[in-house]
Chain A
Amino acid sequence: MSDADFSLWVYLSRTPLLWLTVTLLAYVAADRLSAALGRHPLANPILIAVLLAAGMLAATGTPYRTYFEGAQFVHFLIGPATVALAVPLHRHRRTVWRAILPMGAALLAGSLAAMLSALLIARAFGMPETVLASLAPKSVTAGVAMGIAGSLGGDPALAAVLVILTGAIGAVTVTPLMNALRLRDYRARGFAAGLAAHGIGTARAFHVDFMAGTFAGIALALNALVSAVLAPVVLRALL
């Protein structure tokens, strides 16, 4: 690279524009690839896009902080997207109301099962309290999970990574697992995806079936509520 090229790169690499563009391009490429592979569970668009963007950071030696200055505009939209879930919830209000009992029971059982099993396994491996506190809200949508982890004495950035990994694991495994359990009720399948794997599971559920996506969105919202209340209690009981 010549000096002029280098100074241009130094300028561009520090502007939010470059990394915002990289984030959107990585998403477009990943979404096309996922569609070309017939939306196979393993070809998860988020996983592919994260690999592309993280590879670009590693290749250029760019710190995450610089990247996030551009990407924060996308990250910010997680909040409004959570609010926007009210629209499919309203559209399907009659279906939702009919399933109010199964939803309430599944919400409590699933939320406790996911959180307790993660914390018990992590404790058995001898992980320190900060990691446990970051792990407790792993099934909750990223923005809310970071807040919960911070208030429990965990590391919000680590919590965000564990949340994304949980979402990817859930999105990849939900279809084969539900088929193995012979569950054909798309309300139950979607609700499980949203509860255990938050927005990434919800995105996967919307790809599979619109009703599943709607129930996933409800589970995502309800679990953010329930986990915010449960996490401090469960963590205190285990430590």
Chain B
Amino acid sequence: MRGLGGTILANLPRMIPGAALILLCQLAGEAIAHGTGWPLPGPVLGMMFLLLLLLGNDLLPEPLPTPSVTGAADGILANLSLLFIPAGVGIVGKLDVLAQYGLGLAVALVASTLIGLAVTALVFAGVARLVGRDGEAEDAA
């Protein structure tokens, strides 16, 4: 972790263009989501835009180098856990609702999460076996 953190710090100035591109994609996504009233969330649209930009770059005769955007993205994704702390601390303001419906919410959350995990993984593995592309991914690098 320390190695990664050091790399991120050393590369911080070079990541500014990448960070700007990520924000630009989100901005475009939010503008379209709010402008059209689509139910699609702005950041998800932004992710699709960034993916299209990266795929489009591959099609160029000489693709542009992308270390700035990949560095910024890897840096933020390496610390994904941090981003959920503020929302989690919000639990202090909702203790009354949690106490009132505590048992029901606990049963609903635990059962639905286990069901969601199991159904997703079993359907994924089952369909993968059906279409004959089972097993571990090859280009894991």
- What is the interface of chain A, defined by CB distance below 8 A to chain B? 23-24, 26-27, 31, 35, 45-47, 49-50, 53-54, 57-58, 64, 67-68, 71-72, 74-75, 77-95, 98-99, 101-103, 105-107, 109-111, 113-115, 117-119, 121-122, 124-127, 131, 135, 138-139, 142-144, 147, 151, 155, 157-158, 160-170, 173-174, 177-178, 181, 183, 185-189, 191-193, 195-197, 199-200, 202-203, 206, 210-211, 217, 219, 221, 224-225, 228-229, 232
Contacts and interface: CB of A to CB of B under 8 A. Distances in A.
A218 B74 CA distance: 15
Contacts of A95: 137-140
A105 B127 contact: yes
A114 B111 CA distance: 9
A121 B112 contact: yes
Question: Considering the complex of A and B, which 5 residue pairs feature the smallest CB-CB distances, nearest first?
Answer: A114-B116, A125-B104, A110-B120, A196-B116, A71-B86
B1 to A, nearest CB: 7
A78 B29 contact: no
Contact of B125 (A102, A161, A206, A232): A102
A225 B128 contact: no
A71 B89 contact: yes
B85 to A, nearest CB: 5
A189 B121 contact: yes
Given A75-B83, A102-B124, A225-B41, A110 B54 contact: no
B81 interface: yes
22 contacts: A27-B85, A46-B84, A50-B89, A53-B85, A72-B86, A79-B42, A81-B76, A83-B22, A83-B47, A84-B76, A87-B54, A87-B69, A95-B138, A106-B120, A110-B119, A117-B108, A125-B108, A162-B105, A173-B114, A196-B113, A200-B81, A225-B41
B51 interface: yes
A78 B85 CA distance: 11
A80 B50 CA distance: 11
A169 B110 contact: yes
A121 B121 contact: no
B113 to A, nearest CB: 5
Band of interface residues on B: 35 or more
B41 to A, nearest CB: 4
Contact of B47 (A77, A98, A192, A221): A221
Given A114-B116, A170-B113, A224-B44, A121 B107 contact: yes
Interface string B35-66: 00001111110111111001100000000000
Contacts of A80: 19, 22-23, 26, 43, 76
Nearest to B140: A211
Contact of A105 (B39, B49, B73, B124): B124
B112 A54 contact: no
A31 B1 contact: yes
Given A119-B108, A169-B109, A188-B121, 5 more contacts: A49-B88, A71-B86, A84-B77, A125-B103, A188-B125
